[in-house]
Structure 1
Amino acid sequence: MNTLRAHGENPSAFLALNEGNRHFTVPGADGLISYRRSGRYLVQFGGVFAAEKDQDGLLSGFRAFARSERCRIVAVQVQREDAGLYAEHGFTINQVGASYSLDLSSFSLRGTRFVKLRNKISRARRSGLEVSEVPWESCAKELEEIDRPWLRSKGRHVKEIEFLVGQLGGPAQEHRRLFLGRIDGAPVAYISYSPAFGSRSGQLHDLSRRLPDAPPGVMEAVNLHATERFIEEKAQWLHFGFTPFTGLDPEHEVPSASPLTGKFMRLLAQHGAAVYPAGTQLAYKEKWAPQLVLPEYLAFERGASPGAIWQILRVTKSV
C-alpha cells in the first residue's frame, strides 16, 4: 500500500492489490510490478509502480524473471508517460482504451446538459431509494442479494470480470469505501470506491452493481450521494477508471506502435460488445461529463500478437 501511495500515478493503481495478483520486486528497489500468469504470458497491470530511479532496473528484473519462466510479458493499462520506458526495452505499444476522470473542485449538475441525469436521480429518489455508506463486513449478505441476479442477467455463461476492475473483501478492504442503496430496506444497488493516488488523488469508482429490475437512476443516485460526500471531504478527483476499446485515436499512438494492432483495436471498438461491454460503461461515465480523458496502452514484449491479447481476455475472464 505504501509503495502505491508513493508511486501510484495511475488512477487505477490500487487495483494492483486485488487478490489473485502477484507482486514482483527487486532487492534494494523502491517499487513493485503487479501481474498474473496466463499460459505463457505474464500479464502485467498498470506499468511499473516505482521511484523513477528504480523503474528501469525493476522492469529489467521482471523481464529476466519472465525469461526464466519461459514467458513473455504483456502489460495492460500502461500510461502515456510510461510509454518511453517500455519503448526503450523494445516493447510494442498500442492504445487499448481510455480512462475518465471528474474534477470535483468544479463539480455541478446544474445546466441543461445534465437535465436527463437529474431527472433519473430524482426518479430513483421518488421510488424511496435511501443511500448510506456501509462497512462491507456488515452487509456482505445484502450485496450477494444483488450480485446473484446481476450475474444471471448477463447470460448463462458470463463470468465476473476480474483484474481490471475492483473487488470486495480481502486484506485491502479496509481502504475501500462502499455505498449501498436500499428501497424499503431491501438492497438494490451498490458502488465500491478505492483510493486514487498521485497528482490527481481522490477516489476510484471501481465496482458497481444493481438489481436488473431496480428503478432507473439508482446507480446514478448512489454515485451522486458518494460524490457529495467526497466533496465534503475535500477530495480532488473522482476517477471512473479504464474502459477498453474507447477513446481510440490514431493521434494517441506512440512511435513504437503496431499499425496492424491499432486497426484491430479499432475493430474491437466497433464490434467487440460481445467481448467487453465498453459501450454501456462509456455511456454511464459520459453522463457525468468527465473533464479528463487519458489514453491507456498495451505494451507487448517481442512484438504484438493475437496470443497476448487472448491471454489478457482470459485473465480478465472476458472470454
Structure 2
Amino acid sequence: MIESLTAADIASDIALDAIQRYPDADNPSSFLAVNEGNSYLRLPDTPGVIVYRPTGRYLVQFGGPFAPKEARPRLLRAFADLAAEQDREIVSIQLQGADAPEYLDAGFTVNQIGGSYALRLDTFSLRGTAFVRLRNKIARAVRSGMTISEVPLDRWHPAIRELDAGWLGTKGGANPLEFLVGQMGGRYQHLRRLFVGVHGDELTGYISYSPVYGSRPGWMHDLSRRRPECPPGVMEAINKTAIETFQAEGVPWLHFGYTPFSGLSTDHELPGHSRAFQWFMHDLWANGGHIYPAQTQYAYKEKWQQDVVLPEYIAFQHGASIPALVAVFRACNAV
C-alpha cells in the first residue's frame, strides 16, 4: 500500500528523525516534537529542526533546536530572523540545561520553570517500608477486580475518547491540553505503548507511554486518565504493570515528564536570570493550584521516589514577561 504524504507529514517525519538522530540535549519529552499541529523551521543546508507554534505575537518554541551542537546556533539565528519577519517574539519552553548556552549567547533571558523526573528501572523495587502506602493502594485497586494489560489503541480508542470527555467534564468543561502533552493516534501511534485497566468490559483508566531517546533511554509516562468514580490506586496499579513489563525487557529508564513550577532551586538558575520571574515561579508553586495543579501532579510522581530530577527552563527573547508566559499557556490550549 502506497502512503500519500502531506507536507505536514514529511515535516514531522523529519522532526522524528531529528529527535532520534540528535538526542544530545537529553530532552525526555522530545517525542512531543511530532505532535499534530506543530510547525517546523528547517534550513536546506543545516541538519535538525526547530519545533514551534505561532500564538498571537509570539512564536512558542518547544525544546531547543533538535540538531547537532554545531548546528544549533545557526538554527536559532534563523528562527530569530523568522520571528523578526513576522514582527513576533520568541518564547521557548522546556529547554534543557544543554540547550541553554545558545540562548544565553543570543541574549535570551533563561529561567527555570519546573522539573522533569526519571526512575532508574534496573534498581527499582516496591519492596520496603518506603512503599507501604503505595503497595496498599495498588492492592486495593487489584482487589476491586481490575485487570491490566498492554493493548493496541484500536481496541479501546472509542472508550478512551468517552473517558476523556467525562474527565474533562469534571474539570468544568476545560479544554483538552495540547503541545506540551502527548497525543493518541496518528501516524506515530505505533511508536507509543498503551496500558489499560478494565473492570469487565468497561475501561477504568489508561496510561500512554512515549519513547525517550538520549543518555537515559526508555519510556515516558505520558497521557493518563481514570474514571472519577474508580477506586484509589488505579493509575498506580497500571503503572506498576508497565514498570514490570519494561523491567523484563531491560528498559533502563521510566520518565514521568515535566511538571511546571516544581523542582525549583536557586542552584539551577543561570546567569542573567530574572529574579522577579524566579519569585513568581516559586509563588505559583505555593499558591497557583487554580492555574495549574502542579503540587497534585508532583505528589503522584514523588511517590515513586525518582532517581533524577532534571531542571527545565523557559527562555525569553526580549526579557522575562507575563504575556510571554501566557502565550505558552495559549499554545497549550490551557487558556
Q: Per the shorter chain, which TM-score range?
A: over 0.9
1:262 corresponds to: 278
Alignment of 1:116-195 (within 5 A): 116-156=133-173, 158-195=174-211
Q: Measure, in 1, the Cα distance between the counterparts of 2:32 and 2:145.
A: 33
Give aligned pairs, total.
318
Per the normalisation by structure 2, the TM-score is 0.93
Displacement after TM superposition at 1:175 (Å): 0.7
The one of 40, 46, 49 aligned to 1:29: 46
1:77 corresponds to: 94
Counterpart AA for 1:281: Q
1:88 maps onto 2:105 in alignment: yes
The one of 282, 291, 307 aligned to 2:298: 282
SS in 1 for 2:44: coil
RMSD of equivalent CA atoms: 1.0
Counterpart AA for 1:33: I
Deviations 1:21-61 (A, max 9, x none): 11111112111111111100000001111011111111111
Q: Measure, in 2, the Cα distance between the counterparts of 1:141 and 1:82.
A: 39
Q: Identity of aligned pairs, percent? A: 50
Deviations 1:179-220 (A, max 9, x none): 111012210000000000001000011110000001110100
Contact 1:276/1:318 (8 A) holds in 2: no
Contact 1:104/1:235 (8 A) holds in 2: yes
Q: Measure, in 2, the Cα distance between the counterparts of 1:62 and 1:190.
A: 38
Residue segments in structure 1 that go unaligned for 5+ positions in a row: none
Displacement after TM superposition at 1:291 (Å): 0.5
Displacement after TM superposition at 1:145 (Å): 2.8
Contact 1:275/1:318 (8 A) holds in 2: no
Counterpart AA for 1:6: R
SS in 1 for 2:319: coil
Displacement after TM superposition at 1:160 (Å): 1.5
Contact 1:150/1:212 (8 A) holds in 2: yes
The one of 39, 44, 65 aligned to 2:82: 65
Question: Where does structure 1 differ by over 4 angstroms across 4 or more consecutive aligned residues?
Answer: none
Alignment of 1:7-46 (within 5 A): 7-8=22-23, 9-46=26-63
Q: Measure, in 1, the Cα distance between the counterparts of 2:84 and 2:155.
A: 45
Contact 1:33/1:48 (8 A) holds in 2: yes
2:117 corresponds to: 100
2:267 corresponds to: 251
2:20 corresponds to: 5
Contact 1:145/1:187 (8 A) holds in 2: no
SS in 2 for 1:99: strand
Displacement after TM superposition at 1:256 (Å): 2.0
